[in-house]
């Protein structure tokens, strides 16, 4: 979910203590060891939500005043604002700026419970969610599991080209980017220095464009006075896109404008090139019969996504169909065929627009689907019919760098400084809690005035074994 789009509508086509036992029972939680069933512990309709991302969180919050008992299950204890993850990866923001504890978000919602745990599967016939050593019973199940990076069968590439989906991904990328400059400072061989200062971003969608632009700003501005033996401004940034233009889902004139902005930052944009191999110190790309190898030690992946394995698990239990990306084909009301009690939303749902194309995996789609799922539950509790899901398209935006962005608002398309201001405003409002908005606003203001990125911390393994070069020699 790299870009937050901003009129039109699109239609979705296709021993425990007694107190502890009571608390678990009220959530419909049943231990695997044959503990008590909680079927009659509460008269409230039990809604279980898997995933605390945009879709799951909006569903939970939209059920605040409904006569239901909500159990939100996530393997992380926080909500992550993914559209700004690239700013953590490039030192502009800290992880805490774009995360919020789930329990804190829902602390005033008395009908909501948060469970930290890994969902391993489902027992649809018994209406249970399998969470490690427990089973959580439901009457309505909302599955809002997210996406993972897709390397198209080349899983060995992941260790050389990390994607950007989690906080750990972001801090790892930050370590690689900043570490490359630090390693180059220690080298004397100009060939090795050039390799270290070459950064390749694969994928020209919103995430790739934003990431490439941020890396360029780090090199050209943030670090330009920080080193003595190297000039960070000599860094080479390449953006590789397999389609014939970057931002292929945007209008062509905005793609052209975005590419021009990237080139103004010194980024070499290559369209129509496919990646054929990624090694520790090189990327091989091809276009037709032409091939080229780029010597680099920092490759960032923004080229593909695939659905959570929970989609496959749910399909095996229900007989639902999956698309090529592993997403579940849902009915117009986002439920599964033959299972009206199961609602699939967000990145895991294959939901088509009026042209028969699947809705993109972006935050506004998940938010609207989460709100819709809550309305569907409330309508059913009143024994009322509810209309099919309709996605209200409000446009899309992507930022290239400082004072540069593109915005497609339907009939209105523009770029530059005002598009950038609009991008800032929309993302600030979309942050879940006021504290995050304040922190990000202050940090952005300081960054704009000083061009400084205060979160330039190298964390993780920076030992000799993790370095690509030691004393001018390649590590084997």
Residues recognised as catalytic: 210
Other beta carbons within 10 angstroms of residue 242's beta carbon come to 18
Query: Rounded distance, CA 348 to CA 355, Å?
Result: 20
Q: What φ, ψ does residue 126 adopt, rounded to 5°?
A: -100, 0
318 and 124 Cβ atoms separated by less than 8 Å: yes
Burial class (CB in 10 A: 0-12, 13-18, 19+), 52: buried
Burial class (CB in 10 A: 0-12, 13-18, 19+), 237: buried
247 and 212 Cβ atoms separated by less than 8 Å: no
Other beta carbons within 10 angstroms of residue 54's beta carbon come to 31
Query: Rounded distance, CA 164 to CA 78, Å?
Result: 17
Provide the β-strand partners of residue 90: none
Give the residue among 216, 225, 48, 230 at the shortest CA–CA distance from 130: 48
| Alpha-carbon separation of residue 298 from 29, 156, 182, 268, 301 (angstroms) | 45, 15, 13, 15, 10
Residue 469 contacts by C-beta under 8 Å, 6 or more apart in sequence? 183, 186, 187, 192, 196, 475
Query: Rounded distance, CA 242 to CA 275, Å?
Result: 8
Instruction: Specify the residue for token string 């800290």.
Output: 94
Sheet holding 134-137, edge to edge: 29-31, 134-137, 128-131, 119-123
Let me know the angle formed at the C-alpha of 214 by 165 and 306, rounded to the nearest 5 degrees.
25
How far is Cα of residue 6 from the mean position of the Cα atoms in its chain? Answer: 17
């Amino acid at each position: 979910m790299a870009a937050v789009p901003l009129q039109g509508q699109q239609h979705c086509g296709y021993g425990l203590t007694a107190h502890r036992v009571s608390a678990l029972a009220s959530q419909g939680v049943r231990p695997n060891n044959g503990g008590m069933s909680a079927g009659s512990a509460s008269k409230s309709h039990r809604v279980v939500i898997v995933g605390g991302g945009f879709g799951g969180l909006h569903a939970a919050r939209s059920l605040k005043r409904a006569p239901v008992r909500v159990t939100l299950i996530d393997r992380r204890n926080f909500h992550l604002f993914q559209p700004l993850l690239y700013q953590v990866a490039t030192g502009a923001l800290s992880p805490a700026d774009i995360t919020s504890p789930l329990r804190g978000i829902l602390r005033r919602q008395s009908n909501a419970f948060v469970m930290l745990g890994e969902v391993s599967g489902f027992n649809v016939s018994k209406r249970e969610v399998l969470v490690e050593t427990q089973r959580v019973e439901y009457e309505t199940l909302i599955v809002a599991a997210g996406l993972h990076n897709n390397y198209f069968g080349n899983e060995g590439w992941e260790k050389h080209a990390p994607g950007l989906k989690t906080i750990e991904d972001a801090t790892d990328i930050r370590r690689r980017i900043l570490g490359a400059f630090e390693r180059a400072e220690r080298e004397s061989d100009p060939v090795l220095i050039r390799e270290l200062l070459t950064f390749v971003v694969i994928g020209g969608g919103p995430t790739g464009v934003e990431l490439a632009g941020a890396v360029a700003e780090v090199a050209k501005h943030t670090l330009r006075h920080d080193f003595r033996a190297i000039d960070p401004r000599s860094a080479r940034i390449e953006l590789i896109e397999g389609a014939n233009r970057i931002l292929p889902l945007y209008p062509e004139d905005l793609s052209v404008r975005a590419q021009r902005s990237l080139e103004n930052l010194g980024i070499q944009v290559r369209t129509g090139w496919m990646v054929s191999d990624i090694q520790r110190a090189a990327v091989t790309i091809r276009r037709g019969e032409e091939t080229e190898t780029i010597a680099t030690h920092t490759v960032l992946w923004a080229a593909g996504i695939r659905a959570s394995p929970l989609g496959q698990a749910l399909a095996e239990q229900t007989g639902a169909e999956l698309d090529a990306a592993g997403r579940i084909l849902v009915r117009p009301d986002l439920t599964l065929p033959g299972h009206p009690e199961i609602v699939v939303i967000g990145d895991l749902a294959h939901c088509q627009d009026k042209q028969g194309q699947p809705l993109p995996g972006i935050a506004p789609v998940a938010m609207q689907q989460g709100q819709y799922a809550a309305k569907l539950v409330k309508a059913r509790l009143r024994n009322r019919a509810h209309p099919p899901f309709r996605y209200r398209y409000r446009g899309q935006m992507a930022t290239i760098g400082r004072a540069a962005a593109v915005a497609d608002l339907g009939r209105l398309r523009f770029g530059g400084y005002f598009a950038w201001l609009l991008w800032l405003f929309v993302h600030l409002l979309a942050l879940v809690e006021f504290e995050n908005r304040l922190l990000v606003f202050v940090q952005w203001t300081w960054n704009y005035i000083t061009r400084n990125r205060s979160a330039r911390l190298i964390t993780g393994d920076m030992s000799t074994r993790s370095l690509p070069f030691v004393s001018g020699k390649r590590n084997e």
